[in-house]
Amino acid sequence: MGFADLSIAEIAADYSIPVEKVFSLCNQLGIAYKHQKTRLALEDAKAIISQISSEIGPKGTSSSVGDNEVT
């Protein structure tokens, strides 16, 4: 397994979410970490980013759909 060269803190910054949210996702996904500067394996980083994207995507989609229906 390769390394993504991304830390928990960098993922949090890239997606404008609290580090604690990334810690929570790590716990949910069973990803081991020690602190926010922990470098993640490629597959672990992809799993976290996928989870973040799936949480952000539906919100943006339903919001824009809702705006279209109201207008």
pLDDT in tens, 18-36: 999 999 999 999 999 999 9
The whole-number pLDDT of residue 19 equals: 97
Q: Are 38 and 7 in contact (CB under 8 A)?
A: yes
Q: Are 7 and 39 in contact (CB under 8 A)?
A: yes
The yes-or-no verdict on residue 14 having pLDDT over 90 is yes
Q: What percentage of the chain carries pLDDT values higher than 70? A: 77
Angle of helix 42-70 relative to helix 19-29, nearest 10 degrees, comes to: 110
